[in-house]
Amino acid sequence: MAFQNGNNRSVMGDINVTPLVDVMLVLLIIFMITTPLMEQGIPIDLPQTKTTSIDPSEKQMVLVITKNKDVFLGKEKLQSKDLEKKLVEALGNIKRREVFIRADRSVEYGFVAEIMARVKSAGITRIGLVTEPLQR
Q: 65-110: per-residue pLDDT in tens?
A: 898 989 988 888 888 778 888 888 887 777 677 888 888 888 888 8
Which class in CATH covers the domain with range 48-133?
alpha beta
Query: Is the pLDDT assigned to residue 121 strictly greater than 70?
Result: yes
pTM over 0.85: no
| Per-residue pLDDT at 6 | 58
Quote the CA–CA distance of 135 and 110 in Å, as a whole number: 27
Quote the CA–CA distance of 9 and 21 in Å, as a whole number: 24
| Per-residue pLDDT at 23 | 92
Domain boundaries, the chain: 48-133
User: Using CA of residue 7, residue 10, residue 12, residue 14, what is the dihedral sign?
Assistant: negative
Quote the CA–CA distance of 43 and 65 in Å, as a whole number: 10
Quote the CA–CA distance of 41 and 129 in Å, as a whole number: 17
